[in-house]
Homo-oligomer: A and B are copies of this chain.
């Protein structure tokens, strides 16, 4: 029985990881921990024996008890306050719920001598102040974090390296770029576009006005179902103390994403730029290199962006239909 502990269990990425694990491995036990109850059904899995426990990772003592009881072989550390804008409003909470929770986690593994392999999920935000000439971003570049969130993530990464080298705790580290895929919250840009477009299409519109920020911004999107495969491959084949970008290696302008979603939903899109959504300090272009993870694990992203976006549209049709039935 292979035991996985997943933190941030009730989120979007965790659900996809569980579905992947259920197809990929037999005889697997998962303990999910989160501040919030998951909204998905744990019983829908076939091969994964899955349990949930409500846990605040800032509660060192309770966390140590949970870890000691479960004795995980792997930890997939997804728990995070991952919003940059939240971190500008609440820097202390952001720091505690990114860096301190992670330190508590790795310290528990060290003190209990669990020998657990931990996947520390980080963020492309760590690169921070980069220019277009620096693209694609690779793991050896200097980090220049520019938000409280990014600082918290770089701190997490530095702690990972010190624990890996100084304490022999088995930690593999990611810098994950933008995700896209079914189930994502509409606080994220692609999901927000798709939701607005599907709402328009459900009202029978041929043309819909969509509120946007700067559409010339270019980001590197990976389907969440590819992301969870990357995480699984890194847990199996990643090197301790090493950092891996998780990204597609392709840049796409937000304007192109908007058009693709419109095509998929069969609706003409009229963007309306909301000045409140323009973020002047944002980097215009963020694209990563995924060479390192490819070389180490053989992982390559497989789902084309068009497919991801079409699946997101289908997903929003279902989600909004459920809302209507409930309403």
- The reply on A321 being an interface residue by CB < 8 A is no
A100/B95 in contact, CB under 8 A: yes
- The reply on A146 being an interface residue by CB < 8 A is yes
A145/B166 in contact, CB under 8 A: no
In this complex, the interface size class of chain A, counting residues with CB under 8 Å from chain B, is: 20 to 34
Q: Across the interface, which residues of B come within 8 angstroms of A104, CB to CB?
A: 92
B155/A99 in contact, CB under 8 A: yes
Q: Across the interface, which residues of B come within 8 angstroms of A162, CB to CB?
A: 145-148, 150-151
Tell me the minimal C-beta distance from A112 to chain B in angstroms.
14
Tell me the minimal C-beta distance from A98 to chain B in angstroms.
11
- The reply on A91 being an interface residue by CB < 8 A is yes
Of chain B, the residue at the smallest CB distance from A281 is: B166
A151/B155 in contact, CB under 8 A: yes
A166/B88 in contact, CB under 8 A: yes
**A residues 75-106 with Cβ under 8 Å of B?**
88, 91-92, 95-96, 99-100, 103-104
Q: What is A's interface to B at a CB cutoff of 8 Å?
A: 60, 88, 91-92, 95-96, 99-100, 103-104, 107, 142, 145-148, 150-151, 154-155, 158-159, 162, 165-166, 281
Known: A95-B100, A95-B103, A99-B99. 17 other contacts (CB 8 A): A91-B103, A91-B107, A92-B104, A92-B107, A142-B142, A145-B162, A146-B162, A146-B166, A147-B162, A148-B166, A150-B162, A151-B159, A151-B162, A154-B155, A154-B158, A155-B155, A155-B158
